[in-house]
Amino acid sequence: MYLHEKIKERVKRKKIAIGLYRFDQTSEERVMKAVELADFADVIVVDKGENTEKELSKMVEKGEVHAVVRGTARASKLLEVLRKGHSPLRVGIFETANNVLFLLSPVGVDEGKTISEKLKLIEYSKQLAELLGIPKNVAVLAGGRYGDIGRYEVVDHSLAEAELIAKLSGGENLEIRIEDAVSKGIVIAPDGISGNLIFRSLCYLGGGKEYGAVYFGLPYRIVDTSRNQSAEGFARAIAVATLL
């Protein structure tokens, strides 16, 4: 049973807004199909052209909807709106090809730049793991193995930082072994760029599934999605939004 099917059994009907920005010929088709699939929620499509992101933020801020799903709205424009007065960070929900659910962050290319931000992401991840019933063990990734020390200073720094974060969070430094990390429940990538690459490799090449990335650090709930996501992927994100 997929995670979104389990969620459907747990929640009452909610009003969710999803963004539609037509960046390609399939945008409208995928968003509207997702609305069809998400028959467990009352979904409002926000199609306001250049103002789509502002409208999404306004609707959830005013309480007109319970939560927002980004859909095909533009990430940069939505972040521009959200960062006026807030410091949002995202925690992604993923499923491997063999059905292992885990949380991954940072997934925004400009997030997780500091140890402090990564520790915040770990705390947010633990809250989300509790809500979803995912294990709360923390695996911190680095750019190599301990045996690689001395080969490249960037890798040396990555390993040292991963070790510190693991100690401060009560987690474990699993070096570069992502194949072992996913079973822990919470995975912390070395930076937002590698986190984004992990997600894209898993979901677009490796047969994995994306359930969206939950925004934390906001007084309301927004679930981010890749604008390239399938209709089924958007529907999974809507399911997560109903639970939040």
Instruction: Assess whether 154 and 236 both reside in one domain.
Output: no
Average pLDDT over residues 8-23: 85
Sequence-distant (≥ 6) Cβ neighbours of residue 174 within 8 angstroms: 139, 140, 141, 180, 181, 184
Does the pLDDT at position 14 exceed 50? yes
Looking at the chain, the whole-number percentage of residues with pLDDT higher than 70 is 95
Instruction: Assess whether 186 and 124 both reside in one domain.
Output: yes
pLDDT digits (tens, 9 = 90+) for 51-65: 999 999 999 999 999
Does the pLDDT at position 11 exceed 70? no
- Show the domain range for 67: 1-87+217-244
**Residue 144: what pLDDT?**
95
pLDDT digits (tens, 9 = 90+) for 150-203: 999 999 999 999 999 999 999 999 999 999 999 999 999 999 999 999 999 999
**Residue 27: what pLDDT?**
97
**Residue 170: what pLDDT?**
97
Instruction: Assess whether 223 and 201 both reside in one domain.
Output: no
The rounded mean pLDDT for the chain is 94
- Cα–Cα distance, 77 to 182 (Å, whole number): 31
Does the pLDDT at position 220 exceed 60? yes
Instruction: Assess whether 106 and 29 both reside in one domain.
Output: no
Q: Which two structure tokens, joined as six digits, stand for 230?
A: 């399938």
Beta strands 15-19; 42-46: pairing state: parallel
Average pLDDT over residues 212-235: 96
Region of residue 175 (left: phi > 0; alpha: psi -120 to 50; beta: else)? left
Peptide bond into 106 cis (omega under 30): yes
Instruction: Assess whether 73 and 95 both reside in one domain.
Output: no
Query: Minimal CA–CA distance to 38: which of 56, 20, 17?
Result: 17
Instruction: Assess whether 101 and 208 both reside in one domain.
Output: yes
Tally of domains in the chain: 2
**Residue 10: what pLDDT?**
61
The number of angstroms, rounded, from the C-alpha of 151 to the middle of its chain's C-alpha atoms is: 33
**Residue 8: what pLDDT?**
60
Q: Which amino acid is at 77?
A: K
DSSP track, 166-188: HHHHT-EE-TT-HHHHGGGEEEE
pLDDT band at 26; cut points 50, 70, 90 = very high
The CATH number for 12's domain is 3.40.50.10950
**Residue 13: what pLDDT?**
82
The CATH number for 140's domain is 3.40.718.10
Owner of token pair 């069809």: 36
pLDDT band at 1; cut points 50, 70, 90 = very low
Sequence-distant (≥ 6) Cβ neighbours of residue 167 within 8 angstroms: none
Sequence-distant (≥ 6) Cβ neighbours of residue 84 within 8 angstroms: none
DSSP track, 183-243: GGEEEE-SSHHHHHHHHHIIIIISS-EEEEEEEESSSS-EEE--TT--HHHHHHHHHHHHH
pLDDT digits (tens, 9 = 90+) for 106-165: 999 999 999 999 999 999 999 999 999 999 999 999 999 999 999 999 999 999 999 999
Does the pLDDT at position 2 exceed 80? no
pLDDT band at 9; cut points 50, 70, 90 = low
